[in-house]
Amino acid sequence: MTAKTSWNANLYQDKHSFVWQYGEDLLQLLNPQPSEFILDLGCGTGQLTEKIAQFGAEVLGVDNSATMIEKARQNYPHLHFEVADARNLQVDKPLDAVFSNAVLHWVKEPEAAIANIHQALKLGGRFVAEFGGKGNIQQILEALYQALATISISQPQILSPWYFPSIGEYVTLLEAQGFEVIYAVLFDRPTPLAEGEAGMANWIKMFASNFLVGISSEQQVQVIQEVEKSLQGTLYHQGTWTADYRRIRIVATKV
């Protein structure tokens, strides 16, 4: 991951496991083969890296969060993990595939990431990714912007750490860098959040902390309460909060 977010690896693993669990069926698109060399880009705490390895592939997990990599190494000491950024990838030998789940919406310089992925792949190598697409968390974002406006934060949009492209936008970037896109889909994925009534507050603290930097703890509480109040009627049902996720899935090959 590449946004300037301070990651709590234990909280991520224990309370937000849906991030990697939803990525499990993305592995079917990747279809790892024995002896392939595969990069798990933005591996987090390593769960999907381990699943790729179970197919017999040689896999390298990278993340730009040192705390995530430390946790991944603790979880899977037999696998290889490194701290690295999508914008400056370095690999020892050409890759058969790059796999990335729930990461690339954190990279606000998509051209740089795509160029590095393309360079790291061997000819015919594949790029398989899922990440937030156009309209992702739209309701949550609008509620956050409104809540921040109540405490006189002007232009809160510039605080966003995310990049949520349309299919057309992202496919165009891929093709410009020398990829052939063979599969692309944008879909809604309403995602229940753990922790009951605290689900939305915990999600904001984990993933949207950029919006809380520089304001007092009292103001942070106020903002979160305003968001919860705004979204109560649409994203809170029977004791559970739901995040209004929209995801892009991409399969592309280096040509």
Rounded Cα gap, residues 189 and 244, in angstroms? 7
Pick the closest to residue 188 from 240, 249, 232 (CA basis): 249
CATH number for the domain harbouring residue 38: 3.40.50.150
| Interval 119-133: pLDDT, tens | 999 999 999 999 999
CB contact at 8 A, 110 and 127: no
Asked whether residue 199 is domain-assigned, the answer is no
Rounded Cα gap, residues 111 and 119, in angstroms? 12
Task: Categorise residue 58: left if φ over 0, alpha if ψ from -120 to 50, beta otherwise.
Answer: beta
Asked whether residue 51 is domain-assigned, the answer is yes
DSSP secondary structure letter of residue 175? H
Q: Which residues pair with 132 in a beta bridge?
A: 247
Residue 3 pLDDT: 41
Asked whether residue 114 is domain-assigned, the answer is yes
- Average pLDDT in the 198-202 region? 95
CB contact at 8 A, 127 and 252: yes
Asked whether residue 75 is domain-assigned, the answer is yes
pLDDT at 254 over 70: yes
Residue 2 pLDDT: 41
Q: Give the pair of three-digit tokens for residue 245.
A: 């996720």
Crossing angle of helices 167-176 and 110-120, rounded to 10°: 50
Domains of the chain: total: 1
CB contact at 8 A, 251 and 126: yes
Structural domain boundaries, residue 105: 9-137+162-194+245-254
Rounded Cα gap, residues 38 and 125, in angstroms? 10
Q: Is the pTM of this model over 0.75?
A: yes
Rounded Cα gap, residues 61 and 84, in angstroms? 9
Question: Binning pLDDT at 50, 70 and 90, where does residue 195 land?
Answer: confident
Q: Give the pair of three-digit tokens for residue 61.
A: 């997990």
- Which of the two residues, 116 and 24, has the higher pLDDT score? 116
Q: What is the mean pLDDT of the chain?
A: 92
pLDDT at 7 over 80: no
- Average pLDDT in the 185-210 region? 93
CB contact at 8 A, 61 and 79: yes
Asked whether residue 229 is domain-assigned, the answer is no
Rounded Cα gap, residues 207 and 243, in angstroms? 12
Asked whether residue 225 is domain-assigned, the answer is no
CA distances 74 to 8, 59, 247, Å, are: 15, 16, 30
| Interval 54-104: pLDDT, tens | 999 999 999 999 999 999 999 999 999 999 999 888 898 999 999 999 999
196 residue type, one letter: G
215 residue type, one letter: I
Asked whether residue 112 is domain-assigned, the answer is yes
